[in-house]
Amino acid sequence: MKKRVTIITWMGDTTLNYGATLQATAMQELLKNQNCIPTTMKFMYLGKTAKERMMTLMSRGSGYAKTYFRFKKWIKKYINVSPQCYFDDDVVAYAKENSDILLCGSDCIWGDAYNTRQLFFWDYEELDGLPHIAYASGLDKGEITYDMSRVIDKFVAISGREKYVSQILSKYNKPIATVLDPTLTVSESFWEKRAGKRMISGDYIVCYILSRIECHQVSIEKIKKKYNVNHVVCIDTNFIDKPCNEVYSDYNGNVSKKTVGPEEFLSLIKYAKVVCTDSFHGMCFSLVFRREFYIFSLKRIYTMGEDRRFASLLPKLGLTQRYILLNSDIDKVEDINWTEVETNLYKERQESIQFLKDAIDKCDAYKEPKDANQ
């Protein structure tokens, strides 16, 4: 009998975050492959009416609104979501009625800005009878300040996207695995089928930069010369409402204005000659489509060891040189040995899938803790 799994994660539907939307898509695919019926909670604590939300949307401009509807179309097509929930009571009522398993993850749901919320740990007394799983719950910075002592025994299995999660939770004397982000755990063919058609003819470099692109101007120029590519495309990071720098974008500039939803995002990376990014998911999809990529230190203040998003994965794949701190590092970077990377990635993928399979199997034997406060 198929198990109903209700997921709590970021879905990117209101923030227009490509990585969030695509990881939520992949998480459901992984669960479907394990004979589960996944549903992702659609929650919003703003308490706005549909009319108010639409007015807010339109106030950000027509370009933003068009992108929003591309995201909405993707989610309707690929992600099974719950009814809209505005309050914890709504979340609990839905989950209690429609779940056999509660899953946390993936993405940075346990980051320090959010981990004081019961929602991201499924910590509600009304849900005590349901087994919990954490898959690739992320902690990009800070600590997990939430007191998990009441909820820890409800988790039949816990995994983090960053190794640091296991270090933080070691005090609970419970095994904590480190697994791949869902976007890397599903097959490449999964994304091939969902990527849009090629949008730009000829070679181009794609930049997906969360920080200010001006911080990386010299680096981008060096990469242009190294690969003899003049066409540079900047994907707008809509979710922080940061306009593109037109010096680096004839795509979002006057030459060619087009809307980039999740399908177009995948297409732009898939056909790029090189990817420049400081985004974790920008790196993930460079790996998916076997693109040469360069990771810029966020704001040029983090070493790779300090940037947890990359520190757990790049060494396993033999790609630490892809993390750029100094412009002089760019000339030293050799082309990626994809045979080696694919071998390492396959191993990590199999271990991640096995973790999820084992976790779901453990739910059959789950018994509600007699007293979760002890």
**For range 91-97, the mean pLDDT:** 96
The SS3 assignment for 346 reads helix
Cα–Cα–Cα angle for 238, 71, 140, rounded to 5 degrees: 55
Mean pLDDT across 210-214: 81
Q: pTM for this one?
A: 0.91
- Residue 143 CB neighbour total at 10 angstroms: 12
- Res. 51 pLDDT band, cuts 50 70 90: confident
Give the pLDDT of residue 11: 92
Domains 3-186+349-365 and 188-335 share a fold: yes
Tell me the pairing of strands 176-178 and 205-208: unpaired
Give per-residue pLDDT as tens, 312-370. 899 999 999 999 988 888 989 999 999 999 999 999 999 999 999 999 999 988 877 65
CATH architecture for segment(s) 3-186+349-365: 3-Layer(aba) Sandwich (3.40)
Per residue in 250-287, pLDDT tens?
Answer: 434 434 457 889 999 999 999 999 999 999 999 999 99
CA-CA-CA-CA torsion for 139, 145, 150, 152, nearest 10 degrees?
A: 20
Domain positions in the chain are 3-186+349-365, 188-335
d(CA 343, CA 332): 24
Q: How many Cβ atoms are within 10 Å of 256's Cβ, its own excluded?
A: 12
| Residue, of 179 and 108, whose pLDDT is higher | 179
Helix/strand/coil for 215: helix
CATH number belonging to domain 188-335: 3.40.50
| Mean pLDDT in residue range 126-151 | 87
Cα separation, 101 vs 338, in Å, equals 37
DSSP 217-285: HHHHHHHHHHHT---EEE---GGGTPPP-GGG-SSSSSS------HHHHHHHHHT-SEEEES-HHHHHH
